[in-house]
Amino acid sequence: MSIEVGSKLQGKVTGITNFGAFVELPGGATGLVHISEVADNYVKDINDHLKVNDEVQVKVINVEKDGKIGLSIKKASDTYREPQPRSAAPSQRPSNNNQQRSNQRPPRGRREEFKPKENFEQKMARFLKDSEDRLSTLKRSTESKRGGRGASRK
C-alpha cells in the first residue's frame, strides 16, 4: 500500500516525544504527528491527548524525499475545516468609496512614513532637545529625593 498525501489511514502510536508522536502506519511505515497537528486547540502536553498503543486515524499531509512522513490527527477528523485565508476577509466587507484615505489613521508602527522627511541636522537637533529634556527631568527627580539643592552629602 503506497502512502499518498491526502489519504486517511488508521495507525498505532508507537512513541511519544515532547514535540509529537510517532505513528506506525499499515505496511510498517512510521510517520510523525507534530504536536501542533494533534488537536484543534492548543496542546501543552501531548500525553494529555495520546498514549502509546493508541489507535488513531491520521491524514498524510506530506511525504519528504528522504522518506519522512508528516501526519495530522486534527485534519483527519470529519469536523475539521480548513482556515480561510486572511486576504479574503476585506473583500467581504462593504466598500465605502466616499471615504478618503487621508481621513484614516496611519497603521501602528508605521507612523514615520507619514512625517515629512527630515535631514540629518534636523534629526540630530530633535534628538538633542529630547535628550536634554529627559536629563533635566531625571535631575529634578533625583534632587528632590536628596532634599533639594544645597543638601549636604555625607
Q: What is the pLDDT of residues 106-145, one digit of tens each?
A: 566 555 555 667 888 888 999 999 999 999 988 888 877 7
Give the 3-state secondary structure of residue 16.
strand
Burial environment of residue 33 by CB neighbours within 10 A (0 to 12, 13 to 18, 19 or more): buried
Residue type, 136: S
Closest CA to 11 of 52, 41, 42, 43: 52
Q: What tens digit of pLDDT does each residue of 54-98 get?
A: 999 999 999 999 989 999 999 988 777 777 777 655 555 555 555
How do the domains of the chain map onto residue ranges?
8-76, 115-146
What's the chain's Rg over C-alpha atoms?
30
pTM of the predicted model, to two decimals? 0.53
Geometric angle at alpha carbon 126, from 121 and 128, rounded to 5°: 95
Residue 132 has φ and ψ, to the nearest 5°, of -65, -40
For the structural domain made of 8-76, what CATH number should be given? 2.40.50.140
Give the 3-state secondary structure of residue 24.
strand
Q: Are strands 55-63 and 30-34 parallel, antiparallel or unpaired?
A: unpaired
- Rounded Cα gap, residues 69 and 37, in angstroms: 13
Give the DSSP H or E segment for 129.
helix 120-146
| Reported confidence tier of residue 104, pLDDT bands at 50, 70, 90 | low
**Residue 57 contacts residue 75 (beta carbons within 8 Å):** no
